[in-house]
Structure 1
């Protein structure tokens, strides 16, 4: 079997007027994704999802005009060989760096989809896992900056749905960040796992003022307080309140970025995104490295059911898997355009799909409903 063509298809959804969600990286104005289709000479087709990286047109062009001819003719089941070729020609030498990691991630997911279909096995079984129950938290673009009373109301809705863990957004300002966390903890009680995410918006001075309040509220983790490249601030913040674990990884790419996190010993919760870090092939390497040091993986999830389903399969095959980030965004039709990928149970858990490969029936007719809108999906000023 050989790869005959790789195609990236950018998709967008513009949020209704006045329905933005404000978080640390800005206010959402649209949702973007890139579906990657890999075709073979034996009729098997796989689908993956590449993160748009705030520039969907650039990532799409890289897949269609550079990686497509680079990988044509290779065995689609040779995921290690495909990864090595892209690494050699893009990641490690004169390539587009993080952009290449995003593009490769979508291709790699599609290749694993083909492998599962060829073996007539759901991906979690191909990876050596089982269809086990996976704890989930209410995440995605939700629970953003808003008055404490409406934030509490939104959080309670997710608990009624079955979630036992939620993620709050920080990075607004010190006073309001603290007030929101305190209000939600007081309203929901001690048994709900409250996770927090500053979306890289803090300074070290912000961290010094807010982290003690997070410790008092017994939050499960503090995610991405700083830029992914600001390793020094991560090291310093880790000592401010040891009972508040620092989480990161959504904006770290490939095993080499995670090796730096391991060496620094500051980030103890890892969150690779399968559509960003290099796909399942690379995420398995990252997971193995983490497992050797007792570090759990709580993957970040991207926009569509492709990433969500792949993440469920991935978690079901790990010995150090943690939470599944369930997208509960109110304005993300991209999530369900191939059908509902996961259902939260009364136990707060979800399960991976059972169909072969990633487990989704992709109908490309729906793509026409979401024409691409280039440019970033957030406005910084709000």
Structure 2
């Protein structure tokens, strides 16, 4: 079974989010549309697999890498020899860097090939990863950054009313976090992702201010994100569990992160760090370090499905799935994957279990 073609499909889907978004690492202030890059891999037997890279402003670079570097090298290779293919690509193109657009693109292709592997074997991906009896997984609603306490309050209340008992904020202001806790009450779990803004000293000072709000974790508080020693210090002295890993790339980064004792929760991002082939290794590595994996999934397409399958098979009862709490104008999978009462369905079909709606692709594809 040979890889016959690899097609990159950029999508731009408008969204609302209960108020005007503030500027954040994924986009400008007032962002009103989500850009994503979906990848379609077709074999010479006619099987089709779908993958996804991290999106937003990275889409043009990842598309260029796939179209001009990865696809010409991978087309014609055996789709079934997945682990070997991924190692070969990392070795051959390591001079392009071990993160960023190159690994993002390779991640999307890897996810698509796992989709193909499941379809070829007649099994869902979670069975290929070891199996799962779970029919659904708990989700946390991952809110945008509002930077206005009243908008935070309104949207926390909206998420709780939608059935979510776990929330993630992307705020960097203490008053916004206070508003979230007041709106959610004491029984709703809140996590806080600040996207690497602070020095170690600043992070420790902020942790002291944030402790009264009973956060489940403080995510990526330190700049730069690879300052694992500094992150470990925040974990040891800050009084709040620490999470990180969405900016780590490949297994070696995660080994360094875990060896530093930097996190309570590690967050590999399948569409950024090598796909399911690398992700499954991180679960084993984290288990050896007694650290919980919470897969980072700021996606709506195949990257989200990959996270669901991996979390179902490898995450255990504590696994949570990140649900990007945007009101998208259209969903790639219709209503099939939208959480109900704070839980997301584990697809039971072959491969990733769902294929994107071709009408949505035609309508929202852009050049």
Match of 1:193 in 2: 189
| Farther off after superposition, 159-168 or 357-366 | 357-366
Q: How does 1:1-382 map to 2 (within 5 A)?
A: 1-13=1-13, 20-22=20-22, 24-25=24-25, 27=29, 29=31, 30-52=33-55, 54-90=57-93, 92-94=94-96, 97-132=99-134, 133-139=136-142, 142-171=143-172, 177-226=173-222, 227-242=224-239, 244-320=240-316, 322-330=319-327, 332-333=328-329, 336-346=331-341, 348-372=342-366
For the 8 Å contact 1:105–1:275, the answer to whether it is kept is: yes
Summarize deviations over 1:297-354 as a string: whole Å, max 9, x none: 1111133232222211110001456210012112x346x12323424344x3322112
SS at 1:9's partner residue?
strand
Summarize deviations over 1:4-63 as a string: whole Å, max 9, x none: 1112222224668x9641254253634211111111111101110011372322211211
Q: In structure 1, what is the Cα distance between the partners aligned to 2:305 and 2:139?
A: 13
Q: In structure 1, what is the Cα distance between the partners aligned to 2:107 and 2:297?
A: 13
For the 8 Å contact 1:52–1:102, the answer to whether it is kept is: no
SS at 1:239's partner residue?
helix
Q: In structure 1, what is the Cα distance between the partners aligned to 2:83 and 2:277?
A: 7
Match of 1:378 in 2: none
Structure with the larger RCO, 1 or 2 (CA within 8 Å, 6+ apart) = 1
Match of 1:376 in 2: none
Unaligned stretches of 5+ in structure 1? 172-176, 374-382
Assess, with a 3 A threshold, how the Cα gap between structure 1 residues 73 and 371 changes in structure 2: closer, same or farther: closer
For the 8 Å contact 1:24–1:170, the answer to whether it is kept is: no
| Farther off after superposition, 118-127 or 320-329 | 320-329
Q: In structure 2, what is the Cα distance between the partners aligned to 1:143 and 1:204?
A: 24
Unaligned stretches of 5+ in structure 2? none
Assess, with a 3 A threshold, how the Cα gap between structure 1 residues 311 and 333 changes in structure 2: closer, same or farther: farther
Instruction: Tell me the number of residue pairs that the alignment of Structure 1 and Structure 2 aligns.
Output: 361
Assess, with a 3 A threshold, how the Cα gap between structure 1 residues 303 and 279 changes in structure 2: closer, same or farther: same
Assess, with a 3 A threshold, how the Cα gap between structure 1 residues 314 and 235 changes in structure 2: closer, same or farther: same
